[in-house]
Every structure is written in structure tokens, then in C-alpha cells.
Chain A
């Protein structure tokens, strides 16, 4: 007996050590991040489609449009999203970066345009194309991340001045926020804010700035919340959910009941009762409650685990890349998606007031799903631009997946050529050389490269990359 009881832990320890070794080995493969992103995306996408079908079938039938109407729409958008994913993956990142200005400009115009469309459910955020509605705000979030990163990296060496750190990023972001607030769409405003904060955080903005932003954001959120009665009702019902369980506290209470009903293993896929009219918006904002009800704690844990893995992988991509724009973009996009998930899950489980932030790739919502897939495309692209991955792809071939998708090998990162000694401490002329903003920034930069390139300090990574050359 003694030997067996000793042998147990020993064998387990051996197994664990073996597993860890295998895991470390797998993670050290050059394309590990890329494959992780693909896996996370596929799992979330499949789970999302299943849950959209489960959550909306009852609703669809009650509306008399057939059990699959919501599911079909979502699937079509997922298909479009997969095309966008491929575009995001295939397009060279440098091109994406160059187009980011045009993208954000176009998004701003569309956001102005939607304000003149008829309101749907009290919100003007939709452009109707055929039978499908598209929300430009979703694309604007991605555009803000791409363009914001571009501007910040461009002004990399001027960021020690608040003016360069904040302008033009903050004004543009505020314009977008204002346009979104006019729709109004509080959930998207929150998402845009997250993207902005993530950009500032990862570019290294001073902590006191975040302190200031925090105070401002709380004030703004308060104003925003109490400007509309339904939002203040949400806040009050969050603070005292038992006060009106059939009115303002309805979603809070029904959501917790649905989760509790699921228990550990859930009632079984499709067996959820909340979707039969008990929990409003169950196919969009509260789909996580249905996951909890039908798939139980296990299902919830899988979703939480996938988003945690996304956080880990996305920031790993950021850490392993050398191109500062890629680093900033991948980190910001990751934070955007994961924070949005955390906020959504947070209010579903009763930790936050209801904000209408959706659960990426799982909530019903075509544009959101499609754009999220595009984001995954960009993230995957970034993963393929990790130096180890670039080296492997260039030296050992594109690999199965790359061959299948006819993906070209990524170009290695070239630090911008320095014409002067990198360490020379000279301040640029302050007033005259205002850094460029907007779509024309690249051409401006190319034209005036020599004027302000000397000011940049070459980071270590770039020096090393440059050294290899």
C-alpha cells in the first residue's frame, strides 16, 4: 500500500513535468502565437454560432420568421468576417498601417452619415444594405486602434510632450466618441474608450494621465448615464437590484437566475428556459447568461479561459514583435476584445451595471462579429510578424496553413534608416515642425523624414535588428 501511495504522486509529478516540457516546447515553436490565435478564434466562432442559434431560435419562432433566421444572418456575417479575416491576415501590415488614416476618415464620414438614417430601437447606428444592417461604429473601433497606433509610433520621440502625446489622437477619438454618443450607443462608446486607453497605456503615457482620464471618464460616464433615463435606471437597478425585479432590475435578476439554473453542468444545450421571453436581449447582451444556463459553469469557464488565453497570446505577440506599430496595435486590439468581454461578462454576472457592451464573436450582431474576425486577422498577421516567425517562414517555407491560404512570407522589420548619429541630443524646432496628422501623414513623413528622423532614439530591438542586417 505504502508503495502505491508513494508511487501516485511520483507518477503524477513525472506526468506534470512531462506535460510542462511538452508545453514549453510547443510554445517555443515560432508560429505558436499564430496557431493559438487561430484556435481561439475558431473555438469562439463555433461556440458563438451555436449559442446564437440556441438563443434566438425561440425568438425567431415567436416572431414567425423560422427558427434559423437569426442564425442564418449571423452565419452570413461570419462568412463575411472570414473574408475580412483573410484580408487582415494577408495584407502586409505596412500597407494596413498606411491605409489606417483613410480608414478612420471613412469611418468618421459613415458615422456622420448614420445620424441621418431612421432610428432603430431608438438608436441611429445602422446602414441598411439589402436585408442586412451594418454598424460602421464597429469598424471605427478597429480604425481607431490602427490609426492611433500609427500616429503614436510616428511621434514616438515627441511623446514626452503632452501635446504630441494627446494631439491628434485625443481630438479624433473625442470626435468619434461624440458621433457615437449622438446615435446614441453607449456600449460602443465604452469600446472606443477602451481602445484609446489601451493605446495610451502601451505607448507608455505617464500614469498621472490615466489618473486624470479616470476622473474625467467617471464624470463623463455620470453625465452620459443620467442624460438618458434608461441608463440611470440601469445604474440604480445595479445598485439596488431587488427594488424592482420586474422592471429596471429585470435583466439583472433574470440573468443571475439563468446562470444559477445552469449550475455546474448546465441544463443542456438548447434546454435553456430564459430564452423563452424571460431574459430580454438574451441573444445579444446576455448571451453569456444562456451559456451559463445551458452549458453551466463548465461552459462559462471555457469562454473565460478562451478570453484569458486571448489576453495572454495577444500580449505575447505584442511582446515578441519588434516593430513598435505592431506591438502597439496587437496589444491594443487584444485589450479591446478582452476588456469588452470582461465588461460584458461583468454585467451579466452582476458585477457591473448593464452597458450594452457585447461579448465578442459570441453575441448576436453581424457587424461586430465580422469586424472581430477582421481583428483576429490582424492579430494573426501580427503573430506571423514575430521575428522568430518571420525567420522560420522565410527560411523553412510557409508551413501547411500558409501554403493553404497562399500567404506570402512576411518581410522582416527594418528600422527606419538613421542618417545621423542616433545618440545626438538635439531638440527639434518646437513650433515649426508640428507632426503630421491624418491620412496625409505618411507622405508628409516621407517628405520631411530627414528633418525629424534624427531625433528618434533607436530602441534596442531595432538596433539589434539593424545589426543583423
Chain B
């Protein structure tokens, strides 16, 4: 190297010293200027690139950035409240929190953190102790119903997820989660039914469904089910930005895309107190007369609105475990039965309206009559007697009413059945209403017209029965029963639900005559002038009504059973100024309508007149003679 490079070193030496001397020549040597240009140039280049990224490519990149962060969140809509006519809450929602835990992950995180703590000289607490602390605090906060041992076992277990308590007050939950941040929560709502089983058959039950998407409140039975979408409202949509790979919401990024629309509030026509009393009386009488079941419908005469609608089998909607297939329905509207003698009022109404008979007309009634291949008896054996038309109804003579029906004729009779709503749904807002059964005129056999006039051979629901008597009580104008008084929309606007327009079934005169006749059913007098239901009479008020004892069809034989009966009573009060109409049905009691359903009507009427301060009748029901010879 030395020999070859000696000369070139000399050359380089000269060039380097030239460069060095150039550099020293001024106070701003070239290298400093070049350095300055390079540094500032690099930063200017960066600025240019920044403009490209932040301005020109900006929108596209920014939307990509946004897409990866957005997480849609559902804003739960508040479910509507159900109240009775007075505004008493029968069903409403409250916010609750389900406390959750991930025992497996909690153990891992806890042990790791405690390990670190121990390393830096702190006092470590074992996870099992931590779990015990949690369970202890929960017990202290949530009270006696909380199962501390069970929760502690689950916290110490190896499962990935568990619910600690699913119905915790939000404030308590916050307190718990502040103390133990490793406990998670799910926000839920809970339906409360302050009256418990009162009107449960009507109001129904809704419960939180965590398995549906999104999780939410779902109506299961009754109006909660029938009006579910309207009560539920519409969940809103919110968008939040969340951290990468987690559901941590970046603070301040919540934005409502669509607000939640709260559900509709529903006001029923029911009176919770009357409903309670009705259910209580029904239960009491069911037990007293050893019936298998029963139902009652109470309507307001002038409007057709349902004041009470009771079934004997109920559940407590606050406790889903009480719900079963036997009690979840509403038989008062869904289970038709053959009404029996209660149906004689319809025959009588038609006959009076058509003028084929007058209340005081005297009819010769034999002990039995042969219709086609069958012989129809009265309920009690009697020789051929002369009955007033009123007496036929009051004593509930099958033979007598058949004679009247014959005067009316099957065509007219069928028209009146239809006008009274037999075989058609009333159109009440509840789900699962049955239309009952009315054989079409074409299918009538020779004996059919020997059955229908006294309430056998067709079926109706308790509500239909009440509705038919409402027409009689309301001067002949039938207003289909309704149970929703009004609804309040999300805008706070109250929408009154008007009853459908009434239809005239019979004239006012005929209706008045019929009510007058039906009063005699409750007449208390020595035989043979005692009505079938003196026990329904009420001191101070004129009570009109009709008993019924219908043979049930034996499902085994397909024929009428001799032992199994439906007893009914449909009545109205006060007869001189009708205000309430009630229909009572008892399934297979021991005893006839006059002994089973009629006293129930008495008790119910007694309560109604007191509760509503019903004005006393102008006088007692005038006594009339039923048998004239």
C-alpha cells in the first residue's frame, strides 16, 4: 500500500486542505449552509407529505379509520305502562342490572396483579379470599334472599361466565361495581305487577329474554303479548367508537343515530278494585260449590266497557314459575260453553220484539213436549199448567219457552241469536277470543230448534253472555265490549278508544218489558211463585237476571252428560236504571244455577252498588203470579 498510495495521498491531502480552508473561510461555511438546507428540506418534504395525507387522501383514510371503530349500540325503548281506569298501575317497567362475573378470567387477572403487588412489597390477597369478599359484600347489599354460598362457589369455580344476581337495583349495582370493578353488568329492565294475580289473565306477563337479539322484554301472555310491539316501542340506535379488540367506549364518542321511541301506555277500562273483588268472590264460590272452574264478566251497561273480567285460575306475573298451561289463558273470552237457560232471554227478547207474545200473556204449559224424536221436560215435573210469560222465564220452563219459540219461528229466532252476537267474536282487544259456536241454519236438524231456545246446542263465552245482557239492559242497543280505555303515544298524546257504534237488537219497549220480566227471576215468594234465583236479590235494588244450568257434553260418549253441568247467571242491576251487567259461569259445581251462581251475583252486586254508590231503586220489585190456575 505505501508505495502505490504515496502519491495519491499527496493529492488527497491537497484537496482536503482546500476543503478545510474553504470551510473556515467565512463564518457561514458551505457545510453549515448545506446542512441547514438538508435539514429544513427534509422537514419541508415531510410537510408536503402531510398535506397529501391529511388533505388529499384524508377523507378516504379517515372513513377507513372510522369504520374500524364504530360499534352500534341499541338504546332500549321504555316499555309502556298498563293502568286501570283510575290510573292505578297494573304493569310497569323498572331498570335493573344483572351482575355478571367471569370467574376464570377474574382469577387469572387477580393472581397476576397480586403477584406484582407481592413483588413490590405489598401484601397479596388470594383470589379465594377476594371471592369471599365479593360474596360477603353482595350479601350485605342484596339482603337475605341472596344465596351467598352458591355465589361464592360459582365465583371460585372454573366457569367462564356466570350471573351473580339478575335483578339488582341500578344504584346498588353501581355501589357494588365501584368496590369490585371486576364484576360486570348487563342493563335490563324488569316488569312489575303491583297487584300480582289481579287481572293477570287480562294484563298478562312480560319477562326479560336474554336469548333473543337484541335481548329485551317480551310479552308472553295477555295484553303484554297481544300489544307487545306497541308496548315495547322502538329501540333506538346509538353509535359509539370502541377501542381496538375491546368494548371499551372511547369517551365522548357516543352519538345517537336514532332516538328510542318509548312504548305506548295503555289504560284499561277495568277497575282494579272490582277486579280484585270479582276474582276473590269467584275463588270463594268455586271452593264453596266445589266447581272445577269459573269466570265472570262485568260490563258497564251504558258503554259496554269491561269493568272486570275474572277467571278462577291465575298466576302471579311477578313470579314466572307460577305460570303454567292451565292458568295462562283467559277462559272468560276463550272457552265457550253451552249457556243453558240463560239463553231463554234471547228467545223471549225476539218474541217480545216481534209481538208474538206479551209479558202478561198466559201460556198453557204441559209437563213435557215432543220435538222430533226427543222429549223435552221441564226441570221439575208438573202437570199441564197455565203460566204467564213472565212465569215461564222466572221458573225457567223449557216447554214454555219452546212454545214461545214456535210462535217466533226458527228464521226469526236465528236472526235474534245473531243480533245478540252469538257465534261472533265481540272484537275485544284481547288475544285468543273465541266466537263460540252457533250451528248454521242449514245444518239444523229437526230437533235443533227444540234445543236452541233454552240455551243448549250452541255455545258462547262468558263475555258474550254479558254482552247479550248488556243489550237487554241498555234498551236494546248492543255495544260490543271493549277493555282498552285509552292509549298514550310516545308524543304524550292521549288517544281515547271509543266503543264501536251500538247496534239495535230489540226495541226499547221490548227491552224494558224483558228487564221487567227478568226481575221476577229473583222473586222470593211461596211456591209456585218463587223465581229460580231469589238468592240473587239485593235489598234496596231491583235485580233482573236469569239462571242457567246446562248439561255438558261428555267427551267420552259425545252425548249430554247427566251429571256434569255448567251453571250460569246473567244479571243486571239496578233493574229500573241498569248500570252494571254481570255474567257468571261455574264449571261443574254441585247444585243448580239458582244455588251456585245466583248468590255470587248477589255478593258481587252488593259490592258494586256500594263501591259506586249506586242510587237505590225506586221501590221493590212488584210481585207477580207465575202460575195462574
Contacts and interface: CB of A to CB of B under 8 A. Distances in A.
A276 B250 contact: yes
Interface string B168-206: 000000000000000000000000000000000000000
B153 interface: no
A335 B45 CA distance: 17
Contacts of A260: 53-54, 57-62, 65
Given A159-B16, A204-B31, A297-B51, 20 more contacts: A58-B243, A64-B113, A161-B9, A161-B13, A204-B20, A260-B62, A264-B54, A271-B252, A273-B253, A276-B69, A276-B246, A278-B65, A278-B243, A308-B44, A312-B36, A331-B32, A334-B39, A346-B42, A349-B50, A459-B24
Contacts of B86: none
Contacts, number: 165
A218 to B, nearest CB: 18
Contact of A273 (B12, B29, B69): B69
Given A260-B62, A261-B66, A342-B46, A315 B19 contact: no
Main SS at interface, chain A: helix
Interface residues of A, number: 60
Main SS at interface, chain B: helix
Contact of B54 (A296, A331, A339, A459): A296
Contact of A160 (B12, B29, B51, B53): B12
Interface string A2-13: 000000000000
A315 B55 contact: no
A315 B69 contact: no
A28 to B, nearest CB: 14
Given A161-B9, A259-B50, A273 B241 contact: yes
Interface of B: 9, 12-17, 19-25, 27-29, 31-32, 35-36, 39-40, 42-47, 49-51, 53-55, 57-62, 64-66, 68-69, 113, 241-246, 248, 250, 252-253
29 contacts: A58-B243, A160-B14, A161-B9, A162-B12, A201-B31, A206-B12, A256-B53, A257-B62, A257-B64, A259-B53, A260-B59, A260-B61, A261-B65, A273-B241, A274-B65, A276-B242, A277-B243, A277-B246, A292-B50, A292-B54, A301-B50, A308-B43, A311-B36, A315-B35, A338-B43, A346-B42, A349-B53, A351-B49, A460-B25
Given A201-B31, A206-B12, A311-B39, A297 B49 contact: no
Q: Which 6 A-B residue pairs are closest in the complex by CB-CB distance?
A: A277-B244, A260-B61, A276-B243, A257-B65, A160-B16, A311-B39
Contacts of A335: 35, 39
A297 B25 contact: no
A307 interface: yes
Contact of B35 (A254, A276, A331, A461): A331
Contacts of A231: none
A132 to B, nearest CB: 13
Given A204-B20, A276-B242, A311 B43 contact: yes
Contacts of A436: none
B245 A277 contact: yes
Nearest to A335: B35
Interface in A296-355: 296-297, 300-301, 304, 307-308, 311-312, 315, 318-320, 331, 334-335, 338-339, 341-342, 345-346, 349-351
A319 B43 CA distance: 21
A377 interface: no
A136 interface: no
A262 interface: yes
A45 interface: no
B28 A319 contact: yes
Given A206-B16, A257-B65, A338-B39, A276 B244 contact: yes
A258 B61 CA distance: 8
A71 B14 CA distance: 55
Interface of A: 58, 62, 64, 159-162, 165, 198, 201-202, 204-206, 254, 256-264, 271, 273-274, 276-278, 292, 296-297, 300-301, 304, 307-308, 311-312, 315, 318-320, 331, 334-335, 338-339, 341-342, 345-346, 349-351, 457, 459-461
Contacts of A160: 12-14, 16-17, 20
Contacts of A165: 16
B40 A345 contact: no
Contacts of B21: 457
A353 to B, nearest CB: 14
Contacts of A274: 65
Contact of A345 (B46, B248, B252): B46
A262 B55 CA distance: 10
A315 B20 CA distance: 18
Nearest to A289: B53
B108 to A, nearest CB: 13
Nearest to A293: B65
Name the residue among B23, B58, B248 with the largest chain A CB count within 10 angstroms: B58
Contact of B46 (A64, A296, A318, A351): A351
A311 B35 CA distance: 9
Contacts of A320: 27
Name the residue among A161, A276, A339, A461 with the largest chain B CB count within 10 angstroms: A276
Contact of B53 (A62, A162, A350): A350
A45 to B, nearest CB: 19
B247 to A, nearest CB: 11
A256 B12 contact: no
A297 B65 contact: no
A297 B31 contact: no
Nearest to A457: B21
Contacts of A297: 50-51, 54-55
Contacts of A331: 32, 35
A338 B14 CA distance: 33
Given A304-B43, A308-B39, A349-B50, A461 B27 contact: yes
A315 B37 CA distance: 11
A293 B197 CA distance: 59
A457 B17 CA distance: 10
Nearest to B64: A257
Contacts of B244: 276-278
A161 B14 CA distance: 10
Given A257-B61, A304-B46, A308-B39, A278 B13 contact: no
Contacts of B54: 259-260, 262-264, 292, 296-297, 300
B50 A300 contact: yes
Nearest to B69: A273
A437 B135 CA distance: 72
